[in-house]
Structure formats: C-alpha cells, structure tokens
Amino acid sequence: MSHFVALRLATLLLACDGLAALELAGLVSDAGTVAAALAALATWWNEPLRDRVNAVPGLARGFVLVAALASAVDLGYLAASMLDGLARLLLFLLLYRLAMRNAVRDLRDVAFLAFFMLVAAAPFTFGVGYLFVFLVFLVAGTWMLMLYHIAVESERATARPDAPVAGLGRDLLGLSLGASVATLAITGALFFVIPRIGQAALTLRTHTPRMVTGFSERVELGSFGQIETDGAIAMRVRIPEQAVGEPDRLPGLRWRGVALDTYDGRAWSVARRERSELWRSPTGEFELGRFQAMGPVLIQEVYLEPFGTDILFAAPRLLHLSVRANAIVVDDAGGVSVQNAAARFRYIAQSELESGASWSGEPLDGETRARFLQLPPLSAAVRALAREVTAGTRGAREAAAVLTAHLSGRYRYSLALRRTTTLDPVEEFLFVQRSGNCEYFAAALAVMLRSLDIPARVVNGFQRGEWNPYGRYFIVRLLDAHSWVEAYVDGAWATFDPSPRGSVEPGGPPAAVALYLDALRVRWYRYVVGWSLQDQVLAAVRLHQAALAWRLSAPDLRAWRALPRGLVMLAALVALLAVLLASRRRGAADARAALPTFYARALRTLARRGLRPGDGETAREFAQRVEAAVPPCAEPLARLTTAYEQVRFGIRPLTTEEATMIERSVLELRSRVAPFSGHPRSAAASRPPLQ
Amino acid sequence: MGRALELIRRLETNVGRALVGKPEVVRLAVIGLVARGHLLIEDVPGVGKTTLAAALARSIGAGFQRIQFTSDMLPSDILGVSVWQPERSAFVFKPGPLFTNIVLADEINRTTPKTQSSLLEAMNETQVSLDHSTYQLPRPFMVLATQNPLEYEGTHPLPESQLDRFLLRIRIGYPASGDEKTILRGTGVPSADALVPVLGVEEVLHLQAEAERVHAEEPILDYVMTLVAATRASPLLPLGVSPRGALALLRAARAWALADGRDYLVPDDVKTLAVPALAHRVLVRGATGRPRDGGVDAESVIRAIAHEVPVPR
C-alpha cells in the first residue's frame, strides 16, 4: 500500500468518525448520516467526475457560491438553532473537500473539519458512545498526521510520490496506536487531576429536547395520557448503600414531585403556594426536614434528564438534599425545585420512608385545613358514594384506606381516555366510564376524601421504575409518570395510591444486556461527564487513606533489614550499573543511528535540484559533484559536509558556534538552491497530482 | 593532534621538494611511514621511484641504507653474516644493511625469490632470525621497495606472501607537462640526496602512536568489512583480500585521516586508500597486468568495487 492510499483511507475514516459524532449529538438525522457516509465513500472513485468539473472553468466556484448562499439562508432562517446550521455547513465542506481534493493539503483540511465536527458534537453528547467516537478519532488522527507528514516529506524529497514506504503497515499502526494510548493516558490523568471548577455550558442550541406537561402548577386531568406512552428515560435513581436492604423490595417506593391543592372541576392546580428560597448551608447541603425516627432513611443519587421540568424528584418525606446550586425553592407542600435545570442534573437526596405506623402529630391549623378541603360545587352522587363506601369505618386513616381499596378494586386502569358526557370529569370517571388513568383515580380519591372532611392533596411524580442491578439504580421513564394522593391522617401526611397500576410491576423482565449498557452509560456520566471538584477531593482523600492503610499493613519492610548488608549493596550496585549501561548504550545508539538532521535537510534541499548522493558516493565526493553542478552551493555544503562527518563519525560533539554555523549554512544552501527551483522538473516533483 | 599535523606537513613539504608535482604520491608515501608500513613503489623506469624513496628516507634523521638488488644476491648480503673471530674463538654476527631504520630496496624484483623471502620476517616482525639467534631491528623500521613492472627480462615477480607484507603499493605516473618542464629546468629541484632531515626518530614514533589513536566509528569498520568481503566475492578475483589486508587498509586510513587533520575516520579515508592498500593483494583472473592490452587489472577491479559498495551515512 502506498502511503497516499493509506493517507486517503485514514482521512476517510476521520470523516466518517466526524459524521458519527454529529449523528450521536442529534445534529444530523440518521438518514442524513447514512447519505453523507455513502457520499464520502463514493468520493473514493470520483476522479473522472472531478476532472470533468474542473475542466469547465468556474463551475466548481459557482457551485461553492450557491452552496454558500444556501448555507447563509439556512443559518439565518431555516435552521432550528445556530449549531444545526453550522453542522450542515461543516458536512457540506467536508464532502466538498473530499470530492474536489487536488493536493495532500485538502486531506488535511478534511481532518480539521472532522475535528470541528467532534467539537460541535461534544456539548450535546453525554453518552458513552462519544468515547468510542473520540477514541477512533484519536487513533485515526494520529495515523493520519504521521502519513501526512510522510506524504509531505516524500513530496519534497522525491519525484516519485507513489513509491512505497518501508514499514508502513503494522509498524505505523502500532506506532499510532501507541501514541494514541499514551495521549489518552496522559489526558485521562490530567482530566482526573486538574481541578474542575464548574460546568461549561454552550448555549448555541437553546431548544430543550422535550416539554412535559403534568409537572407544572396547573395540571389538566388527562394530561398524563400523552407521556404515559413515552418510553424516554426521565431519570435514574441510584441507591448507593444497602442500609435498607434490597431497594427493589421496598414497598410503595415513589418519586414525589409536585403537590397540587386546588381542584376547580377540570384541573388540579396550586392556588396559593408559599414558596421560600432556601440557601445553601455552610457545608453545601440543604436541610429540609427533621428525622422523625418513623421509618428507614433512603439515600438516593438522582440523575435527572433534562425533560423540561425544574422539579427535583425524591422519595416522600425529603430530609436532606445535596445539589450543585446556590439556592433551591421549597414550597409549603414539600415540593422542591431549582432555578435552572436545563441541563442534566445530579443530586443526592435523603428521605425518611413511610412505615405505615400511626403517629399522632399536630392537627392542621384552620387556614391550611380549609385549603386542603377546598372543593368546587360537587354533585351529591360523589358525596353519597364516599359516605356509602366508608360507612362503618373508624377514623380518617381507615376511611382513606377503604376508599383507596374501593377505587383500586372496582375501577379499571386504562390509558384510552375519552369523554362522552359533559359531566364533571371525576363524576364521569366514577359513574360512567369506570376506567381511567392514575390522574382520575387520584383526583377521585382526593375529591371523595375532601368530601369526608379529610384534608387531601394530589401528588404528581413517578413510579419506582425498573431496577437495574448492575448499576444499583432504578430506571425511571416518562411512562412511569404517576399521580397519587396524600391525606392528612393522624397528624401527618400519608400516601394513598388508589390506581391499580401502582401495585403492578411495570413491564416484563428486562433484557440483561440493555440494563448493562444503561449501567455503563450511567457510570460514564457519573465519572466522566459529572466528575466534579468534590469527587476529586474525595478521590484524593481515599487515595491517602489507602496509602496510609497500606503503610500500616506492611510491616514486612523490616524483613529487608535482616538481609546481609553486603548483599543489598551488591544488588543496588548491579541495578545501578545496569541502568547506567542501558542508558549509555541507548544514548550512543540514538546519537549514531541516523543521519544528522541538518545534513538530511541539506540533502533534501539538493534533491529538489535532482542532486542525490549515489550508494557508493561519499559525502565529500557528493559535495564535489554538487560543486560542479551548482557552484554557489559548494561553500555552504562543504561546511555542512565537514560538520556531518564530525557528528556522524567523530568523537567530539558540536559546539554552540558550530551548531549556529550549521543552521546558517543550511539556510544559505536553501537560498542558493532556491533561484533554480523554478526548473520544470523540480516543480513537477514538488507537487504531484493526487490520484 | 595539531603537532602531528604540523610534523606531517613538514615532512610532505620536504619530500615534495624532491618529487615535483606529485603531492598525492608524497602523501601516500608519508602515510606509509606514519602507519608503520612498508611501501612498494612500482612504475615504469625513470618516473622517480628511487627519488621518492630516497627523499623520504633522507627527510628523516634516522639510519638509512640503500640496497641495490641484483640477481646474484644472497640473503646474507641483506641480513648479515656470522664470522669466525679467532681472537675470541667464536662466531660473531656481523649485521647486514637491513639493520637500520629506513631501507631502500631498489629494484627488489631483480633478485631471486630466496633473497626476496629473506625480507619476510624483517618486514613483518621487525626482527631477524639467524643461526638460532634472533636480532631485533631498530624502530622505526621501514622498507621502501621499488620495482619495475614492465621489465620482465631477468626479474622474479614478488610472491603473493611477500606482496601482502607491503602496506601500500604506490604508482607514481608521468608528471604533468608543466612539472616536467620544471624538472628539466632543474633549478630549485634538489636531488634527494641533498635533502636535510626534518623529522627525528622520536617525532616519527610520536606520529605513529598518534595514528594508532585515530577513532574509527562502527560504520567505518563495517565499511572496511564490506569492501573486503566484496573483493572475496568478486568473480573477477580468484584471490580476495586477506584479513591482514583489511587491517592494512584500516591502518593506512587512520594515518590518512591524521594527515588530513582529523582524529576520526570518515568513509573517504577508506575509499581513497582502497586501491593503494588492496590492489597488490589480489589476483585477477586472466589479467595481463597491463590495462593497455585490453585486460583488466587489479586496480580497476578494486576501483570498481569501491565505487559500488555503499558508503555508510
């Protein structure tokens, strides 16, 4: 394989890698990616077309002009965001460069464009797939740079651009792989060591991927229906410690979001929310509640996807929150939100789980009680049903439990929502449809509880989700969005989930491979994308502790002292000698192995005039021949020859003055050769047409 | 280093006064001395073989003997002889003309192989063994031999073993026309015998020691090996260069480098000396010995080999 073919191959690989990066970031559609990749591959055979286009004067230029105009229009008016337009522009430039390449330089441009593609894709890909794209770029890029250097040098040095280069195959691949691994190791080390001071945010692309209804301050009944079929991942909740047993066996685990208190007959909303901004404590944490010793404490590490909500979800009765924000907003119904949650978010929450034990707290004050008993004008049938079901029960908790059981037992869960009457939605659900989604169940329960003078509120959040044992976390999808009821019984808010869906396991047994890949994705996010200063400090502390522990557990060191001192000294001496010898030999070999650079440069310069030393020709003989052919070069070349002999065969190294003299002589030689380089033969040799 | 160069220049200038217009030949003769070698000067009659040898010998303030070889000569005429001394009732060794520093063996191929071979030990080991006794020759010891290749009448060609003892074989060649005119005019060209010594024995020994110290880099040794191997592999040469020949080439090259003012060898040193140091050590298949007859001679074969063997870079 000639190095030009290898160079083109490496460049094509880079171009495809750049495409893959754009595709991963969602800047180019799947179909567009496939089309662009095919077009890039097709450029391998396009010389006839290129030559024909080049033959028509101005055609290529006109094409570029049209494309530039189209790109300007795209950027200004059509593109959804600036980055989308830029990505398309990059794609066009890449394909154009590949198709119309004339010289090696164009291939270098392709590599640069591919690099820009990777840069453009970087802020939008948190996936682990980007790592692979990046690794491919690293290897292929190193490979390409080496080949490019070889190509340029051989272009300068020889008139035969397609001459095969020795050691191109496995050696070059091995070398570039080695260089890439070294680069990765060094940058990886730097990444984990250099202090991270914050998250960089590129806001070129401002539209959020998805807006979700159901978690705002006013929620129409039925609005969950749209998202309950959406399988996109909303968040992942990692349970770091096994203090509470296997988390997937915890009963009734839910991720609470927002609580709604007012029902107007059509929608639940927050009437008069008292919000307060809570500032970070000196330790960087937020204290939200006191531990009541009523249930186990669950620590959750939540990775919230940016699906268009600023609410922080956590298991009910949130005690403690650790989040990278200066302030959080807490409302009086226990909802927590942050100011700017556009990006993916990570926080750690500690919650005290409900244990079901009755516990007498303080009753609500009158105003609050009235707020959670508010009802719109209600049909008598609903009140009658509530009374009928709860007849004979004692206490609010029992009444709530009976109502919950009634709803979940007698009514059917359905996502097929339709209205056939003009009745109040709750009434229609209870008496006409007798089926609905979780919102209807929750609304019906809340309304009936309120009709019985039990304070209640509707809570929107997520079901537990799918347990991933590989990463010890729950995968919560948008279709896990859920609605349930909290009732104030026995002096505390208790959870009641009337919808039959809440008790069934969602989905079938998950595929192990998919779970494993998802766990890998989370680790990537946790340890690469979300790697923070705090993590660094923690890692350093752990390292320190490990080192201390190791030192303490290594008393064997003293055993060394028991060895005869002479033996130890001998071993040390031998090791020192070996190191010295090895380094010396290597040094000598390095110094002697190759032609001195300055002389090689001089030879390259002369090769441009077609003057190359023969096999059996010594440096002096060559200098004499050059003197006859190009008399002005004789003097600097004579100096260079002498210096070359001294460096190559002599013992004394060059002095600084000699080194300066050499540099000057090389330049002198170049300038004296240059006036003749307009020679047709050498001009053809210096830039051969690319095949 | 600087002193060595100065001494060599002084010697060269002095010899050059007698042999006009042949600086490269003078240089070869001088490096023969510096490299502790013996010289064989071979050319047609009348080009200055004896002049060169005598000039070199005279330029050194050391012992000098000239032996005119003839066909009736015996080894004892060169080495010496033990004679009976009645007053001491013992044989006493009476050294021959060989017991000196510089020996000019004029027309060495005129004598019989028996007498020629008597020189072997002297040239190789700088000693003479005679009648169960070994006599050391003085240092420096150098044999400058001349011979005439065209004059076959009544000559005995030197055996290969003898030829191998000579470090260099020098050809002088006809002088350039301008130089020849100077010689004809005769003014300013002193005869070799009129030269005054410019180097003492100590200085010669110093030069020889300096030459031994010239540094040879690994690639240079490889180059010498490649050259020698090429002579052994050449189809034109049934007899290639011996290891002694390779050693001689390296020794001569060291002296050449010293004369060039360097303390390290470069490929040019080896390449330049390939012909004078190797050509007389090989046999050429079907050679007439005379290029003008259309045959190949050893010098052109060696020259071609040196031209083709890749030099180290």
A565-577 pLDDT, tens per residue?
777 788 888 888 8
Partner-chain residue, chosen from A592, A616, A650, that has the shortest CB–CB distance to B311: A616
Cα distance from A146 to chain B (closest Cα, Å)? 24
Mean predicted confidence (pLDDT) in A5-25: 88
Q: Does A624 touch chain B (CB under 8 A)?
A: no
Mean predicted confidence (pLDDT) in B149-157: 70
Write out the DSSP string of A230-287: ---EEEEEE----TTS-GGG-TT-EEEEEEE-EE-SSEEE-SS--EEEEEPPTTS-EE
- Asked whether residue A487 falls in the same domain as residue A574, the answer is no
- Asked whether residue B250 falls in the same domain as residue B278, the answer is yes
Q: Report which of A140, A117, A112 is spatially closest to residue A7, judged by C-alpha positions.
A: A140
Give the best-scoring range by mean pLDDT among A89-98, A292-301, A351-360, B280-289: A89-98
- Asked whether residue B49 falls in the same domain as residue B177, the answer is yes
pLDDT of A371 reads: 84
Residue A524 lies in a domain: no
- Asked whether residue B65 falls in the same domain as residue B186, the answer is yes
Q: To which H or E segment does residue A435 belong?
A: strand A435-436
Count Cα atoms within 13 angstroms, Cβ side, for B199. 32
Q: To which H or E segment does residue A674 belong?
A: none
d(CA A219, CA A138): 49
Residue B44 lies in a domain: yes
Cross-chain Cβ contact B266/A619 below 8 Å: yes
End residue of a domain, out of A510, A541, A567 = A510
Q: Does A653 touch chain B (CB under 8 A)?
A: no
- Asked whether residue B4 falls in the same domain as residue B141, the answer is yes
- Asked whether residue B138 falls in the same domain as residue B10, the answer is yes
Secondary structure of A112-149 in the HEC alphabet? Answer: HHHHHHHHHHHHHCCCCHHHHHHHHHHHHHHHHHHHHH
End residue of a domain, out of A494, A510, A526 = A510
- Asked whether residue B22 falls in the same domain as residue B140, the answer is yes
pLDDT of B252 reads: 92
Mean predicted confidence (pLDDT) in A175-202: 73
Q: Give the confidence band of A202 by pLDDT, cuts at 50, 70, 90.
A: very low
- Asked whether residue B299 falls in the same domain as residue B189, the answer is no
Mean predicted confidence (pLDDT) in A453-478: 84
Cross-chain Cβ contact A650/B215 below 8 Å: yes
Let me know: does A315 contact A254? Beta carbons within 8 Å. Answer: yes
**Which residue in A has a C-alpha nearest to residue B227's C-alpha?**
A616
Dihedral of CA B80/B83/B88/B89: which sign? positive
Cα distance from B268 to chain A (closest Cα, Å)? 6
- Asked whether residue A247 falls in the same domain as residue A177, the answer is no
Let me know: does B8 contact B259? Beta carbons within 8 Å. Answer: yes
pLDDT over 90 at A248, yes or no = no
Cross-chain Cβ contact A649/B308 below 8 Å: no
Phi and psi, residue A169, nearest 5°: -75, -95
Q: Report which of A468, A465, A474 is spatially closest to residue A505, judged by C-alpha positions.
A: A465
Mean predicted confidence (pLDDT) in B122-129: 86
- Token pair belonging to B81: 């002889």
Cβ-based contacts of A595 with chain B (< 8 Å) = 313
pLDDT of A347 reads: 86
d(CA A584, CA A550): 36
Let me know: does A315 contact A353? Beta carbons within 8 Å. Answer: yes
- Asked whether residue B179 falls in the same domain as residue B224, the answer is no
- Asked whether residue B3 falls in the same domain as residue B141, the answer is yes
- Asked whether residue B187 falls in the same domain as residue B261, the answer is no
Which B-chain residues 165-194 have CB contacts (< 8 A) with chain A? none
Q: How many CB atoms lie within 10 A of CB B63?
A: 16
Mean predicted confidence (pLDDT) in A465-470: 80
Phi and psi, residue A236, nearest 5°: -125, 135
- Asked whether residue A154 falls in the same domain as residue A242, the answer is no
Residue A539 lies in a domain: no
Cross-chain Cβ contact B263/A650 below 8 Å: yes
pLDDT of B250 reads: 93
Question: Letter for the amino acid at A376?
Answer: P
Residue ranges making up the domain that contains B171:
1-72+100-210
Residue B90 lies in a domain: no
What CATH number does residue A324 fall under?
A: 3.10.620.30
- Asked whether residue A130 falls in the same domain as residue A26, the answer is yes
Partner-chain residue, chosen from B218, B266, B310, that has the shortest CB–CB distance to A645: B266
Q: Which of B1, B221, B258, B266 to mutate to test the interface with A (most CBs of A within 10 A)?
A: B266
Segment among A42-46, A200-204, A407-411 with least mean pLDDT:
A200-204
Q: Does A620 touch chain B (CB under 8 A)?
A: yes
Q: Does B217 touch chain A (CB under 8 A)?
A: yes
The mean predicted confidence, pLDDT, of chain A is 77
Cross-chain Cβ contact B218/A649 below 8 Å: no
Residue A147 lies in a domain: yes
d(CA B296, CA B301): 7
Residue A550 lies in a domain: no
- Asked whether residue A482 falls in the same domain as residue A463, the answer is yes
Q: Does A616 touch chain B (CB under 8 A)?
A: yes
Q: To which H or E segment does residue A459 belong?
A: strand A456-463
Cα distance from B124 to chain A (closest Cα, Å)? 31
Strands B60-61 and B64-68: unpaired
What CATH number does residue B286 fall under?
A: 1.10.8.80
Let me know: does A475 contact A521? Beta carbons within 8 Å. Answer: no
Let me know: does A247 contact A239? Beta carbons within 8 Å. Answer: yes
Residue A122 lies in a domain: yes
pLDDT over 60 at A675, yes or no = no
Residue B312 lies in a domain: yes
Cα dihedral angle (A377, A380, A386, A392), rounded to 10 degrees? Answer: 130
Residue ranges making up the domain that contains A184:
3-193
- Asked whether residue A576 falls in the same domain as residue A622, the answer is no
Segment among A245-249, A486-490, A496-500 with least mean pLDDT:
A245-249
- Asked whether residue A64 falls in the same domain as residue A155, the answer is yes
Burial of A105 (0-12, 13-18, 19+ CB in 10 A): middle
Write out the DSSP string of A341-393: --S-EEEEEEEE---------PPPPHHHHHHTT---S--HHHHHHHHHHHTT-
- Asked whether residue A165 falls in the same domain as residue A236, the answer is no
- Asked whether residue B180 falls in the same domain as residue B241, the answer is no
The mean predicted confidence, pLDDT, of chain B is 84
Cross-chain Cβ contact B311/A649 below 8 Å: no
pLDDT of A554 reads: 60
Partner-chain residue, chosen from B215, B264, B268, that has the shortest CB–CB distance to A618: B268
Count Cα atoms within 13 angstroms, Cβ side, for B162. 17
pLDDT over 70 at A674, yes or no = no
Q: To which H or E segment does residue B306 belong?
A: helix B298-308
Cross-chain Cβ contact A618/B311 below 8 Å: yes
Instruction: Output A384-391 pairs: Cβ under 8 A, ≥24 positions apart.
Output: A385/A430, A385/A448, A386/A448, A386/A449, A386/A451, A386/A452, A387/A452, A389/A448, A390/A452
Cβ-based contacts of B267 with chain A (< 8 Å) = 618-619, 649
pLDDT over 60 at A592, yes or no = no
Q: What percent of chain B has pLDDT over 90?
A: 6
- Asked whether residue A575 falls in the same domain as residue A600, the answer is no
Cross-chain Cβ contact A648/B217 below 8 Å: yes
Residue B197 lies in a domain: yes
Dihedral of CA A315/A320/A321/A326: which sign? positive
pLDDT of B89 reads: 86
Q: Give the confidence band of A157 by pLDDT, cuts at 50, 70, 90.
A: low
End residue of a domain, out of B141, B175, B210 = B210
pLDDT of B255 reads: 92
Q: Give the confidence band of A173 by pLDDT, cuts at 50, 70, 90.
A: confident
Cβ-based contacts of A649 with chain B (< 8 Å) = 215, 217, 219-220, 264-267
- Asked whether residue A165 falls in the same domain as residue A275, the answer is no
End residue of a domain, out of A481, A510, A539 = A510
pLDDT of A214 reads: 64
Q: What is the pLDDT of residues A599-636, one digit of tens each?
A: 888 888 888 878 888 888 888 888 888 888 888 888 88
Cα distance from B265 to chain A (closest Cα, Å)? 7
Q: What is the pLDDT of residues A311-354, one digit of tens each?
A: 888 888 888 888 877 778 888 777 888 876 556 677 888 888 87
Cross-chain Cβ contact A651/B263 below 8 Å: yes
Partner-chain residue, chosen from B266, B271, B308, that has the shortest CB–CB distance to A649: B266
Residue A434 lies in a domain: yes
Q: How far apart are the first and last CA of chain B?
A: 25
Which A-chain residues 570-609 have CB contacts (< 8 A) with chain B? 592, 595
- Asked whether residue B107 falls in the same domain as residue B178, the answer is yes
Q: Give the confidence band of A1 by pLDDT, cuts at 50, 70, 90.
A: low
- Asked whether residue A139 falls in the same domain as residue A237, the answer is no
Residue B84 lies in a domain: no
Residue B83 lies in a domain: no
Q: Residue A103, SS3? A: coil
pLDDT over 60 at A372, yes or no = yes
d(CA A312, CA A325): 12
d(CA B253, CA A462): 92
pLDDT of A17 reads: 92
- Asked whether residue A678 falls in the same domain as residue A581, the answer is no
pLDDT over 60 at A679, yes or no = no
End residue of a domain, out of B177, B193, B210 = B210
Residue A205 lies in a domain: no
The size of the A-B interface in CB pairs under 8 A is: 51
pLDDT over 90 at B253, yes or no = yes
Cross-chain Cβ contact B262/A592 below 8 Å: no
End residue of a domain, out of B171, B186, B210 = B210
Q: Does A322 touch chain B (CB under 8 A)?
A: no
B140 preceded by cis ω (within 30°)? Answer: yes
Residue A210 lies in a domain: no
Burial of B145 (0-12, 13-18, 19+ CB in 10 A): buried
Cross-chain Cβ contact B266/A595 below 8 Å: no
pLDDT over 60 at A200, yes or no = no
Let me know: does B301 contact B284? Beta carbons within 8 Å. Answer: yes
**Structural domain count, chain A:** 4
**Structural domain count, chain B:** 2
Cross-chain Cβ contact B271/A619 below 8 Å: no
Q: Does A557 touch chain B (CB under 8 A)?
A: no
Mean predicted confidence (pLDDT) in A413-432: 78
Q: Residue A584, SS3? A: helix
pLDDT of A561 reads: 61
